[in-house]
DNA sequence: TGAAATGTTGGGGCG
DNA sequence: ACGCCCCAACATTTC
């Protein structure tokens, strides 16, 4: 009687989970394990918000496994020796997992795979996270893509082939048990939750785990998907999928999402067409993983080396912390940063606006922003985060040119025209009339007084948009032409 | 998946 | 009727 081990990582679901499916299909009993080894992810170990999501996802996975007669084996320690010990104790001779694409994790997985195979253990890895794995598409010259449009022209052909696996027919799970000579762990004992209760709003906004993912997908398909192309840029509307953290943790797969859209299309053919703009966003996620795999150095270095000479400024601690905590005095920027701090998530349009402010007006290195997002986002994903920041900073693939500086006032007026989003997260502005809600500093002093913002940072922002924009463009010019 | 500066055009008021 | 100016509305260029 075989025992097959499934090593769960960022694939915390049971449906359309190829490693779990293969283990169930291989006969014998299935042992589901999570090994907590954050050090192995180096600089990019999960941050505080991610750990919150991870905690609840693990609980949810454990509960689902218990319903099926098993449970999640929770271990802690270096992955290789921990897995070796587990397999030796339980007599397991095959192990399955789903692939990850972060450079540090790939290096670890390669080594784990090699050593276990040398010991005679059957090891198989699978694709659970992507529609197109990074090596499955290339340019006609045989190179990786650096531009989104040709990448997606090629890769999107596979969208129609998305066939997620259902829950396996036959599941025979090993209940989790104490392992000799190993410290006992539960999800709780991993210490993933905050010690001070800053996660109140997180609980109100999110239900981490597979059940939550499926519920969120249903909600998206019932409502926002049909108006996605119109509302996705509107942070004042509930116009996005809000599936990003579920994707980041593998509570759901992109294949499942695409298949669900096509399934709805059987009843309502318009849905597929209206969802095209959303599927394109999934394409950006695929593109990010393609870039991360082929250019792993981009997690800390510019993809475009021409920017290596760019004169980023060392941020003043006060200004950086004002940006982080939403106290710059620029309404839509502060609203976004507070949304992030309070809920672990930020609307994508607003992410671009706050990132433009940091990298262009404040002229901070994009890594400063990437690290903050990494710690505070529940959907922190190394591929998306790296790509997103390099794109906005102008240092990345197919990037916004450096001189494309977002004006937060115009962006606010265009995408939050009534100021509802700004007022939700910046209550100081509650009484400011719509006309001035995105530039309250333009109100006359008497008006600032009567609307309750006199003497506040909203009467005099920490950043002069016009001046810093001009300075940033000057620095860009100077670095392009080199020192004289 | 910009914004601002600069250039062009065309309608309307006016002498 | 005509030229002139103003300026909104676009279009193009530049950063």
Whether residue A415 has pLDDT greater than 50: yes
**Nearest nucleotide to A476 by CA–C1' distance?**
C15
**Nearest nucleotide to A405 by CA–C1' distance?**
B2
Q: What is the pLDDT of residue A44?
A: 98
Q: Within 7 Å: CB of A186 and strand C?
A: no
Output the distance from A403 CA to B7 C1' rounded to whole Å: 21
Whether residue A482 has pLDDT greater than 70: no
Q: What is the pLDDT of residue A388?
A: 96
Q: Where are the alpha helices (DSSP H) in A40-126?
A: 48-67, 79-90, 103-118
Report the topology of domain A305-479: DNA Cyclobutane Dipyrimidine Photolyase, subunit A; domain 3 (1.10.579)
CATH code 1.25.40.80 for A129-163+209-294: yes
Output the distance from A67 CA to C12 C1' rounded to whole Å: 65
**Nearest nucleotide to A403 by CA–C1' distance?**
C15
Whether residue A221 has pLDDT greater than 50: yes
Assigned token pair, A421: 């989003």
**Nearest nucleotide to A470 by CA–C1' distance?**
C15
> Which of A's residues 451-480 have CB atoms within 7 A of nucleic strand C?
473-474, 476-477
Whether residue A181 has pLDDT greater than 80: no
Output the distance from A47 CA to C2 C1' rounded to whole Å: 74
Q: Which residues does strand B reach (CB under 7 angstroms)?
A: A 148, 233, 281, 284, 348-349, 352, 400, 403-407, 410-411, 414, 466, 469
Query: Strand B: which positions are within 7 A of a protein CB?
Result: 1-4
Q: What is the pLDDT of residue A25?
A: 95
Q: Give the mean pLDDT of A12-19.
A: 98
Output the distance from A172 CA to C2 C1' rounded to whole Å: 95
Q: What is the pLDDT of residue A183?
A: 78
> What's the number of CA atoms in the CB half-sphere (13 Å) around residue A254?
24
Q: Which residue is associated with the tokens 């209206």?
A: A274
Residues of A designated as active site:
281, 284, 312, 348, 366, 389
pLDDT in tens, A293-323: 999 999 999 999 999 999 999 989 999 999 9
Cβ atoms of A322 and A206 within 8 Å: the answer is no
Judged by average pLDDT, the poorest of A28-37, A392-401, A441-450 is A392-401
**Nearest nucleotide to A348 by CA–C1' distance?**
B1
Q: Give the mean pLDDT of A174-185.
A: 84
Output the distance from A454 CA to B12 C1' rounded to whole Å: 44
Query: Strand C: which positions are within 7 A of a protein CB?
Result: 15
> Which of A's residues 381-420 have CB atoms within 7 A of nucleic strand C?
401, 403
Predicted confidence band of residue A200 (pLDDT cuts 50, 70, 90): very high
Task: Identify the residue with better confidence: A480 or A402.
Answer: A402
Predicted confidence band of residue A484 (pLDDT cuts 50, 70, 90): very low
Output the distance from A412 CA to C2 C1' rounded to whole Å: 47
Output the distance from A411 CA to B12 C1' rounded to whole Å: 34
Whether residue A144 has pLDDT greater than 80: yes
* Domain positions in chain A: 3-127, 129-163+209-294, 305-479
Q: Give the mean pLDDT of A384-409.
A: 92
Predicted confidence band of residue A64 (pLDDT cuts 50, 70, 90): very high
Helix (H) or strand (E) holding A140: none
Q: Of the candidates A30, A29, A45, A34, which has an alpha carbon nearest to the alpha carbon of residue A7?
A: A34
d(CA A167, CA A145): 35
The reply to whether A129-163+209-294 shares the fold of A3-127 is no
Return the exposure string of A446-473: e unless at least 16 CB atoms fall within 10 Å of the residue's CB, then b.
Answer: eebeebebeeebbbebebebeebbeebe
Q: Give the mean pLDDT of A208-227.
A: 96
**Nearest nucleotide to A474 by CA–C1' distance?**
C15
pTM of the model: 0.96
How would DSSP label each residue in A68-90? TT--EEEEES-HHHHHHHHHHHH
Cβ atoms of A185 and A36 within 8 Å: the answer is yes
pLDDT in tens, A76-128: 999 999 999 999 998 899 999 999 999 999 999 999 999 999 999 999 999 99
Mean pLDDT of all residues belonging to chain A: 95
A3-127: CATH superfamily:
HUPs (3.40.50.620)
């Amino acid at each position: 009687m075989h025992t097959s081990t499934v090593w769960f990582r960022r694939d915390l679901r049971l449906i359309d989970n190829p490693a779990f499916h293969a283990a169930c299909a291989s006969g014998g009993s299935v042992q589901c394990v999570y090994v907590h080894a954050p050090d192995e992810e180096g600089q990019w170990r999960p941050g505080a918000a991610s750990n919150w999501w991870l905690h609840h996802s693990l609980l949810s996975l454990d509960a689902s496994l218990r319903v099926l007669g098993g449970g999640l084996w929770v271990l802690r320690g270096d992955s290789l020796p921990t897995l070796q010990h587990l397999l030796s104790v339980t007599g397991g001779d095959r192990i399955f997992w789903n692939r990850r694409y972060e450079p540090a994790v790939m290096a670890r997985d390669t080594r784990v795979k090699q050593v276990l195979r040398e010991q005679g253990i059957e090891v198989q890895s699978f694709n659970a996270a992507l529609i197109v794995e990074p090596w499955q598409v290339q340019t006609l010259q045989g190179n990786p893509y650096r531009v989104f449009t040709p990448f997606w022209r090629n890769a999107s052909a596979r969208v129609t082939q998305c066939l997620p696996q259902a829950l396996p027919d036959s599941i025979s799970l090993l209940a989790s048990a104490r392992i000799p000579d190993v410290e006992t762990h539960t999800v709780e004992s991993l210490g993933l939750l905050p010690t001070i209760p800053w996660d109140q709003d997180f609980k109100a906004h999110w239900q981490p785990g597979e059940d939550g993912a499926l519920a969120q997908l249903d909600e998206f398909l019932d409502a926002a998907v049909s108006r996605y192309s119109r509302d996705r840029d509107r942070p004042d509307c509930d116009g996005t999928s809000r599936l990003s953290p579920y994707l980041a943790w593998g509570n759901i797969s992109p294949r499942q999402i695409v298949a669900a859209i096509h399934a709805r299309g059987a009843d309502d053919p318009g849905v597929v067409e209206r969802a095209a703009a959303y599927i394109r966003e999934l394409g950006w996620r695929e593109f990010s993983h393609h870039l991360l795999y082929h250019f792993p150095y981009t997690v800390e270095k510019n993809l475009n080396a021409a920017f290596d000479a760019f004169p980023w400024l060392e941020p003043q601690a006060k200004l950086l912390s004002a940006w982080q905590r939403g106290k710059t005095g620029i309404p839509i920027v502060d609203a976004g940063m507070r949304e992030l701090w309070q809920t672990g998530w930020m609307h994508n349009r607003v992410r671009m606006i706050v990132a433009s402010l940091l990298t262009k007006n404040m002229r901070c290195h994009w890594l400063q922003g990437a690290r903050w997002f990494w710690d505070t986002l529940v959907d922190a994903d190394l591929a998306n985060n790296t790509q997103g920041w390099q794109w906005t900073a102008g240092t990345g693939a197919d990037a916004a040119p450096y001189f494309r500086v977002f004006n937060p006032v115009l962006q606010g007026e265009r995408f939050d025209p009534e100021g509802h989003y700004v007022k939700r997260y910046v209550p100081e502005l509650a009484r400011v009339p719509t006309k001035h809600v995105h530039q309250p500093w333009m109100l006359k002093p008497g008006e600032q007084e009567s609307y309750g913002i006199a003497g506040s940072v909203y009467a005099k922002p920490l950043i002069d948009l016009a001046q810093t924009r001009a300075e940033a463009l000057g620095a860009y010019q100077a670095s392009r032409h080199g020192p004289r």
